[in-house]
């Protein structure tokens, strides 16, 4: 699979999973695309002019320059797009779960685990940051995996639980096998203060850069732990 195939696949997945259209987000996205193409085109022209000035008859070098520039520009644009889009839409998209908790549609750990696992797979579908499956466990409840069928994760649930109780930071589990497919697993413990609440584990088709892995930690700290507290059984 080429880089561009992966980009198109992630875009299609995002479109399929998107629940509503946000005007402000659309304007911001279009503005970024226009600005990026303007800057890239300006750099392209400057490089073209410089090459023509240095070499009287660049010939094949111009064709090579175009190819290399398109590859570099496409790759850089994809990285910048991910860095901008993830924080831009995270709060907006997660509002659906927060609203369901507030309205009582999500009222117990199992329903929360189902919603969170589906959200992780649906939202994090970006270039080089595509979550293909997720597993969520809340305290002593059975772990929930999404998608439920067709994705058998060969990883020990007891080991995940013990590891998540030992630290509050993200743990990279390396490559694991899932339905014969090689994935990269990242375990994110869920803590509220000093209380361990569970974990979520995501499986990606590529190794994540540290900056992308850090997004998972931020997501847990700012969105997951406090919302989970609302659906846990109240102590009498």
Contacts of 219 (CB under 8 A, 6+ apart): 90, 188
Domain for residue 235, yes or no?
no
Q: Are residues 106 and 153 in the same domain?
A: yes
Could you tell me the residue range of the domain that residue 193 belongs to? 91-229
220/213 Cα distance (integer angstroms): 11
Q: Are residues 97 and 207 in the same domain?
A: yes
Domain for residue 161, yes or no?
yes
Q: Are residues 179 and 116 in the same domain?
A: yes
Domain for residue 160, yes or no?
yes
Instruction: Write down which residue in 38, 64, 90 finishes a domain.
Output: 90
User: Does residue 96 surpass a pLDDT of 80?
Assistant: yes
Give the residue-averaged pLDDT of 55-62.
74
Q: Are residues 86 and 161 in the same domain?
A: no
**Tokens read off for 162:** 């013990």
Per-residue pLDDT at 68: 85
Q: How confident is the model at residue 152 (pLDDT cuts 50, 70, 90)?
A: low
CATH of the domain at 118: 3.30.450.40
Please write down the HEC assignment for all residues of 165-217.
Answer: HHCCCCEEEEEEEECCEEEEEEEEEEEECCEEEEEEEEEECCCCCHHHHHHHH
Per-residue pLDDT at 126: 85
Per-residue pLDDT at 236: 44
Give the residue-averaged pLDDT of 203-209.
91
Q: Are residues 80 and 148 in the same domain?
A: no
Q: Strand 181-192 and strand 129-138: pairing?
A: unpaired
Q: Are residues 136 and 47 in the same domain?
A: no
Q: Are residues 76 and 111 in the same domain?
A: no
Bigger pLDDT: 120 vs 45? 120
**Tokens read off for 111:** 């329903």
The answer to whether 160 and 201 have CB atoms below 8 angstroms apart is: yes
Q: Are residues 79 and 98 in the same domain?
A: no
CA torsion angle 148 149 150 153 (round to 10): 50
In this prediction the pTM is 0.73
Domain for residue 234, yes or no?
no
Domain for residue 236, yes or no?
no
Per-residue pLDDT at 51: 76
Domain for residue 167, yes or no?
yes
Q: Are residues 82 and 161 in the same domain?
A: no
Neighbours of 101 (CB within 10 A): 18
Q: How confident is the model at residue 38 (pLDDT cuts 50, 70, 90)?
A: confident
pLDDT in tens, 63-93: 888 888 888 877 777 777 777 777 777 888 8
User: Does residue 125 surpass a pLDDT of 60?
Assistant: yes
Average confidence score pLDDT of the chain: 82
Number of structural domains the chain divides into: 2
Per-residue pLDDT at 150: 60
Give the residue-averaged pLDDT of 163-185.
88
Instruction: Write down which residue in 67, 90, 113 finishes a domain.
Output: 90
Per-residue pLDDT at 4: 47
Q: Are residues 190 and 225 in the same domain?
A: yes
Per-residue pLDDT at 118: 95
Instruction: Write down which residue in 57, 90, 123 finishes a domain.
Output: 90
pLDDT in tens, 177-195: 766 678 899 999 999 989 9
The answer to whether 106 and 98 have CB atoms below 8 angstroms apart is: no
Domain for residue 83, yes or no?
yes
User: Does residue 21 surpass a pLDDT of 60?
Assistant: no
Q: How confident is the model at residue 149 (pLDDT cuts 50, 70, 90)?
A: low
Phi, psi dihedrals of residue 172, rounded to the nearest 5°: -85, 125
Q: Are residues 148 and 208 in the same domain?
A: yes
Per-residue pLDDT at 20: 47
The answer to whether 178 and 133 have CB atoms below 8 angstroms apart is: yes
Q: Are residues 72 and 103 in the same domain?
A: no
Domain for residue 103, yes or no?
yes
**Tokens read off for 23:** 């005007």
User: Does residue 15 surpass a pLDDT of 50?
Assistant: no
């Amino acid at each position: 699979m080429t880089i561009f195939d992966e980009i198109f696949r992630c875009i299609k997945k995002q479109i399929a999973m998107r629940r509503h259209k946000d005007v402000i987000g659309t304007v911001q996205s279009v503005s970024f695309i226009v600005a990026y193409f303007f800057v890239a085109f300006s750099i392209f022209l400057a490089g073209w002019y410089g090459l023509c000035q240095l070499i009287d008859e660049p010939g094949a070098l111009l064709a090579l320059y175009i190819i290399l520039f398109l590859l570099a520009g496409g790759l850089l644009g994809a990285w910048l797009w991910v860095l901008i889009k993830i924080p831009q839409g995270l709060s907006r998209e997660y509002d659906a779960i927060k609203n369901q908790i507030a309205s009582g549609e999500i009222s117990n750990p199992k329903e929360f685990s189902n919603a969170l696992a589906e959200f992780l797979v649906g939202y994090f579908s970006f270039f080089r940051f595509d979550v293909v499956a997720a597993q969520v466990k809340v305290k002593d409840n059975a772990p929930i995996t999404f998608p439920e069928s067709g994705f058998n994760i060969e990883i020990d649930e007891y080991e995940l639980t013990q590891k998540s109780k030992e630290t509050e930071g993200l743990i990279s589990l390396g490559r694991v096998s899932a339905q014969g497919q090689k994935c990269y697993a990242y375990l994110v413990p869920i803590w509220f203060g000093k209380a361990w609440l569970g974990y979520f584990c995501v499986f990606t088709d590529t190794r994540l850069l540290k900056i992308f892995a850090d997004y998972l930690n931020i997501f847990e700290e700012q969105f997951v732990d406090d919302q989970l507290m609302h659906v846990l059984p109240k102590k009498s």
